[in-house]
Structure 1
């Protein structure tokens, strides 16, 4: 959905005379109202953001005007007089009415604009000027123009968005908080992997039109995600006829792929398809130096040196049909399918010391093969009930995913003897089924707007885990009954919401309230002794549980316009963070023989209250955005490490990681971003985020309270060179941070990209170097009462990628917002 009064063009429109025409100004005669509607001549669809210009004939320097709303309507106050009237819209021929005498309020009726093909080449320049739009509850980044996205994945692209950080393992955080909700086109999606971000590493970045960073979500959105929401909006062509593009990439280490986007649009239907295949290798490495401080372990020091080889092969396709039932209504059906195969090989050289003298050396290999299949079926109905903006939207969606994983873990002594220590086979199967039903109703009432809706999501996840260990005495594999289990996790959420927005002069507000009922169910099938589990966790737990939570989630978003190009905003919202299935599954899963992860079935949702104060200022060439934010989260999740009291057969202490509700978490921070268009050939973009967080809580008698500060910053420059060559540089630095047990060092990375248009601008070739200095590595130091660990981890080495994109029946850039019945979920209707 879209805003009723788009802030973007109000900020960029340079008709300063508008303000002098407000009621109460100095006028000799009372104002009259000029109204009308602007539509596309070919398909009769409304043109949002079209500009009405009223130029006084007697005083040509005296100009006033306005812009059209979501339905193409405009309504402007002006003194009576004689005017030259013109209506303009990017890439369309200007409509002119010269020497019009206006003595009373006048309705110009419906004005139909025709495409101006000769102007299309200039559209690209206009489109490049705006890369950030500020709304009541979010910032919108048009990242599709980022050259470094060529050959990149959606995860790579997100790492170029201010406020967002993607760590070396692909974990996504917003303002330093990983409790972020990922949506695709405003909804949970199989494209995002049902809450896991793994799928985003396999989808091409060139499929993205924009990313909405929603730090103060309105009541329309799920209350899930205490950090906020990232809504990834995918491209959808709206121009008539057949058009599309082909994008190919090749790189080193191996990074190849091809994606095809095709679109056929007529007056009655819009048929669209995106299909892609990728083949990627992501070599990495890690180093761990572990020292044990007690006598439980035979060894006082163990050094691990790991090498990773990760091969990813993936295919995805999305096919949809939008049928225009009437001029006011349409129905869209689409099916998405993604399949991928991962082949990971990890080699681990392990040196063991007694009294700082090398005693033995082992080599461990882990071969992991994973097959994923995901389906999603979607149905969307839109009905614009009247010309005033009254609208009804209904969505239904079904998603199904299946993941099969087989791991073979083998460890051998290499010094002083060469023999087998352990051979294990791990079998994992995870299935997910999710249903979504949603209805939204919008009722404009003059300058105000009322909205109400319902959303139901019903998700079931089943995990089948089995561990077989080789019995060297019998040469047979024995099932480990303590770890083998079937765990089913169900999450059902029913929500009702309502919100009301209005605008009074320079002041806009959006108030909302969301009621959500959450049901969390766990069902266990295993021989595991729950009494032993309770002893390990130190609390009474039940792996077979059925919990219900009913909560109210208010939202407040305010904007006050200090001037036409300056405003301040205030946001408040209450959020929830529900535990995922892995976090409540009580059965340990092995990342190695000596390190296990164990879920906690006693884990409860976390709740947060968040406040945000923002400031925006635009000059001719500079745009500044900034905010101060504070969040207090109760029952926040924290993964802690502790000893299990158990050792491996060769005498190594086994360490467990477990998530717990660790009381409270306070987070306060400040962020700022600046976009500087220094010249036509040079554009600079930078952002900075500084935050402090403190945690209070204890578990099993250990105090895990801590306070820490951290920050991250970005800098990007884009230079237009001769011969239609563009050069972009992206730099990123994340400062040191720490938790109760771990200190993380700073990380710096540098990306370079070049592109050149060829084939009469229908084609573009590009060269992209990701992590030029090969410095994107995480260094950590962990200290507990029983061990310390010094480590370095690099998920992926420096990568070089070449790309080529060819566009058919499609200019390089289109900026034709407002055409068609596209429903960009999440765009607010009320706006300052």
Structure 2
């Protein structure tokens, strides 16, 4: 809490200084200069805060020190009180200083405040939250709950976010979310975003930004909002960094390094790591097949186990070049390479209508994969003055290649059928390019105009082939073979204006996007071009009742474009009776989003609550339908995404941080929502066995209520031991074709600082009770009644060791101070968010 108070006060002082400086009357000015240093080490303190007040206590000028600890402030001649402050240092004050001409105050040494430093050491070890006008920023820090884990684990530990058993990320229960890394989608090349998040190490994450209603400056993609993952980029002076090693059961072995070298005119940084993981999973489906009158015809039980073994290496090397005091040019190269195998064993038991055993089948899918990714990004930032007038240009390009091959065997038991053998080849290539320019122009005392352009260009080539072994030779299976080429060109322009009038802030924006998309199925010579352009208005307003409470209201129009597995007709045959099939003809959905939020701070409690409403046209819905039968007569069930007419989502959310004692921190999240869908769908398909055309009508009118809750507790025990425990619960939810069953899970972790606080050892357990499973009841009249469970990863125990070197106390303090100054990202913080 002390950390939040100090940060808020410093931000307010800096803002006030800037506003008063802009409001000073024209006339003679004099310059006050000086240098701020650490009193003991004599090292310069960057981002120290300078405030100059007149005898009446009004702020007449102010600023921050540069990387050499120097400052320069212009004021009118007079007698002033000069206040100098820096996080975790005792304030330095000069009283009644007469300044009639340019004045150099010389070197000013500041001493560490032991009381504040103690508070910093407690807070800095856990995830903290910063509230902006249009987003929430979660600083991951040294969150021991995710040590040795992946980015997917990080997201699952952030309030408002959830990650299901298949790795899909949801914001407030809505999976129509855009995932960015460092503000760009280019690092997520590849059709399976969930898999990419499971490959990147958690230790590379600096913070996570949750943007529920993005402003016009952001890409309009993502009907449920944007999640931006910001990777670490060291900035402390000299050579410093951290090393981490971890081991676990099931196998979870890895090592990573975050290194940084900062000089006078450059900052060189790198993140690199290697890991080997085995994520054993399992699933089951108990299906009851029905006739037209819903009478039972047969039963099939499916059991599946798999071992996802992955070896991966990733590295990022970046260089920031401080061209001069106003310009910075940053270049970074990232590489990622992963290999793995995923042997999947599936057992089928067939029964008649009276539950009498008929036959069994054993299916082995021996899959191997290899993936490589290369990404280059460059960014140039030019600051024309110290008031926020700037231009930033970003460009990036990436290439991703992934090959998955599988040998499949079917062994029939208690039947006259011969064993069957298949093999599949899935070759995917994806390239992305991005160019973006953002211009910011301050207007008046507190107004700001922004405008920019963004061009996003991508192409994905997916060649999936299935072959059956017939008479000793493999022949192509046309039913499960396709070659898809997806091309997307999106050009966008935006403009927005914001201002602050007393306690009231507002931001109005408009974005225009032109989309040109080709979905080409080469196997069937089906070429489809989708060309459309749309306007996306945004509006934000907030009112500060006091320093401790504020109210906000926002509106945004969003788009959700289908990609990857949503479009690809086939991507795998782990099971040949429960098959996911993409839909190349699916269209984008459009969402109108309204969000109202209230934030209140007390001494030991912070409450952040919001109510939200989303109305989506052509929303995506997964439907299950019959797809013929296998060789032994077992019905095939297809799962396919479609567009529905309307979806209405309304909900409210509470986030509470509570510090009952100095050694105990609690934070909780509760989200309740109502989801209504309106629409029906007629599915026409050809039975691959009989060749007959079948029409399947389904009614999707449905209203469902659901809620999720999360509680996280962190206790500082004696001997510098910390204990963290969190629990999660997702309540049941009905849908048009059945019901999702409620799921509860819990995680825990212990950590201890050692080696004079330069190192930390941590032990964490993910999914203590091994209960994290996706469970569904499905009922389609006249077709099927089923119950399914899927557990992507079993309980995981991980032991990690982290060592930090050449990070002096003042370096760590300067790093924390600089991070708070850099946390802007979205560019709207000047409005008091």
Measured against the shorter chain, the TM-score band is: 0.7 to 0.9
For 1:537, the equivalent position in structure 2 comes to none
Return 433-442 or 38-47, whichever deviates more.
38-47
From 565, 572, 578, the equivalent of 2:548 is 565
Name the CA distance, whole Å, in 2 between partners of 1:55 and 1:773.
63
Does the residue aligned with 1:197 lie in a helix, a strand or coil? helix
For 1:640, the equivalent position in structure 2 comes to 623
What aligned pairs does 1:7-18 form with structure 2 within 5 A after superposition? 11=8
Name the CA distance, whole Å, in 2 between partners of 1:805 and 1:130.
17
Asked if 1:703 is matched to 2:699, the reply is: yes
Name the CA distance, whole Å, in 1 between partners of 2:789 and 2:94.
69
Residue by residue over 1:765-784, the C-alpha shift from the partner in whole angstroms, topping out at 9 and shown as x without a partner, is 11111111111122210010
Q: 1:286, CA displacement in angstroms? A: 1.4
Name the CA distance, whole Å, in 2 between partners of 1:158 and 1:34.
50
- Verify the 8 A CA contact 2:365 2:574 in the aligned structure 1: no
- Verify the 8 A CA contact 1:45 1:820 in the aligned structure 2: no
Does the residue aligned with 1:590 lie in a helix, a strand or coil? coil
Structure 1 residues 206 and 232, CA gap change in structure 2 (3 angstroms): same
| Stretches of structure 2 lacking an aligned partner (at least 5 in a row) | 21-27, 683-696
Name the CA distance, whole Å, in 1 between partners of 2:678 and 2:820.
51
What aligned pairs does 1:288-687 form with structure 2 within 5 A after superposition? 288-294=285-291, 300-355=298-353, 356-415=355-414, 420-445=418-443, 446-471=445-470, 474-526=471-523, 528=524, 543-586=526-569, 590-644=573-627, 646-687=628-669
For 1:184, the equivalent position in structure 2 comes to 181
Residue by residue over 1:405-446, the C-alpha shift from the partner in whole angstroms, topping out at 9 and shown as x without a partner, is 0112211123367x7432110100010000001111111123
Structure 1 residues 139 and 460, CA gap change in structure 2 (3 angstroms): same
- Verify the 8 A CA contact 1:464 1:485 in the aligned structure 2: yes
Does the residue aligned with 2:173 lie in a helix, a strand or coil? coil
Asked if 1:803 is matched to 2:785, the reply is: no
Q: 1:75, CA displacement in angstroms? A: 9.7
For 2:817, the equivalent position in structure 1 comes to 817
Q: 1:113, CA displacement in angstroms? A: 6.5
- Verify the 8 A CA contact 1:15 1:65 in the aligned structure 2: no
- Verify the 8 A CA contact 1:173 1:180 in the aligned structure 2: yes
Q: 1:549, CA displacement in angstroms? A: 1.1
For 2:255, the equivalent position in structure 1 comes to 258
Q: 1:9, CA displacement in angstroms? A: 6.2
Name the CA distance, whole Å, in 2 between partners of 1:298 and 1:33.
90
Structure 1 residues 15 and 203, CA gap change in structure 2 (3 angstroms): closer
- Verify the 8 A CA contact 1:624 1:674 in the aligned structure 2: yes
Structure 1 residues 586 and 194, CA gap change in structure 2 (3 angstroms): closer
For 2:692, the equivalent position in structure 1 comes to none
Q: 1:81, CA displacement in angstroms? A: 11
Q: 1:393, CA displacement in angstroms? A: 0.8
Structure 1 residues 651 and 574, CA gap change in structure 2 (3 angstroms): same
Asked if 1:765 is matched to 2:761, the reply is: yes
Q: 1:260, CA displacement in angstroms? A: 0.7
Q: 1:212, CA displacement in angstroms? A: 0.7
Does the residue aligned with 1:830 lie in a helix, a strand or coil? helix
- Verify the 8 A CA contact 2:428 2:463 in the aligned structure 1: yes
From 673, 693, 703, the equivalent of 1:691 is 673
- Verify the 8 A CA contact 1:334 1:377 in the aligned structure 2: yes
| Aligned-pair Cα RMSD in Å | 3.5
- Verify the 8 A CA contact 1:463 1:486 in the aligned structure 2: yes
Structure 1 residues 283 and 15, CA gap change in structure 2 (3 angstroms): closer
For 1:89, the equivalent position in structure 2 comes to 86
Q: 1:656, CA displacement in angstroms? A: 1.7
Name the CA distance, whole Å, in 1 between partners of 2:624 and 2:504.
50
Structure 1 residues 563 and 424, CA gap change in structure 2 (3 angstroms): same
- Verify the 8 A CA contact 1:92 1:114 in the aligned structure 2: no
Structure 1 residues 53 and 686, CA gap change in structure 2 (3 angstroms): farther
Structure 1 residues 287 and 525, CA gap change in structure 2 (3 angstroms): same
Does the residue aligned with 1:239 lie in a helix, a strand or coil? coil
- Verify the 8 A CA contact 1:224 1:576 in the aligned structure 2: yes
For 1:539, the equivalent position in structure 2 comes to none
Q: 1:50, CA displacement in angstroms? A: 2.9
- Verify the 8 A CA contact 2:51 2:82 in the aligned structure 1: yes
- Verify the 8 A CA contact 1:184 1:232 in the aligned structure 2: yes
What is the TM-score with the length of structure 2 in the denominator? 0.88
Q: 1:592, CA displacement in angstroms? A: 1.8
- Verify the 8 A CA contact 2:48 2:85 in the aligned structure 1: no
- Verify the 8 A CA contact 2:206 2:230 in the aligned structure 1: yes
Asked if 1:728 is matched to 2:724, the reply is: yes
Structure 1 residues 110 and 385, CA gap change in structure 2 (3 angstroms): farther
Structure 1 residues 654 and 115, CA gap change in structure 2 (3 angstroms): farther
For 2:828, the equivalent position in structure 1 comes to 828
Name the CA distance, whole Å, in 1 between partners of 2:648 and 2:543.
28
For 2:136, the equivalent position in structure 1 comes to 139
Q: 1:316, CA displacement in angstroms? A: 0.1
Q: 1:171, CA displacement in angstroms? A: 0.6
- Verify the 8 A CA contact 2:377 2:395 in the aligned structure 1: yes
Name the CA distance, whole Å, in 1 between partners of 2:434 and 2:107.
39
Name the CA distance, whole Å, in 1 between partners of 2:152 and 2:321.
32
- Verify the 8 A CA contact 2:189 2:430 in the aligned structure 1: no
Name the CA distance, whole Å, in 2 between partners of 1:135 and 1:609.
21
For 1:203, the equivalent position in structure 2 comes to 200
Structure 1 residues 115 and 99, CA gap change in structure 2 (3 angstroms): closer
Q: 1:110, CA displacement in angstroms? A: 9.2
Name the CA distance, whole Å, in 1 between partners of 2:784 and 2:31.
74
- Verify the 8 A CA contact 1:45 1:819 in the aligned structure 2: no
For 1:535, the equivalent position in structure 2 comes to none
- Verify the 8 A CA contact 1:772 1:798 in the aligned structure 2: yes
Name the CA distance, whole Å, in 2 between partners of 1:129 and 1:469.
54
Structure 1 residues 40 and 422, CA gap change in structure 2 (3 angstroms): farther
What aligned pairs does 1:737-816 form with structure 2 within 5 A after superposition? 737-785=733-781, 786-811=783-808, 814=813, 815-816=815-816
- Verify the 8 A CA contact 1:10 1:564 in the aligned structure 2: no
Structure 1 residues 130 and 522, CA gap change in structure 2 (3 angstroms): closer
Name the CA distance, whole Å, in 2 between partners of 1:254 and 1:571.
46
Does the residue aligned with 2:566 lie in a helix, a strand or coil? helix
Structure 1 residues 720 and 68, CA gap change in structure 2 (3 angstroms): farther
Name the CA distance, whole Å, in 1 between partners of 2:230 and 2:485.
32
Name the CA distance, whole Å, in 2 between partners of 1:387 and 1:464.
52
Does the residue aligned with 2:324 lie in a helix, a strand or coil? coil
Name the CA distance, whole Å, in 1 between partners of 2:62 and 2:582.
54
Point out which structure has higher relative CO (alpha carbons under 8 A, 6+ apart): 1
Does the residue aligned with 2:522 lie in a helix, a strand or coil? strand
| Stretches of structure 1 lacking an aligned partner (at least 5 in a row) | 1-5, 24-31, 531-542
Structure 1 residues 75 and 717, CA gap change in structure 2 (3 angstroms): farther
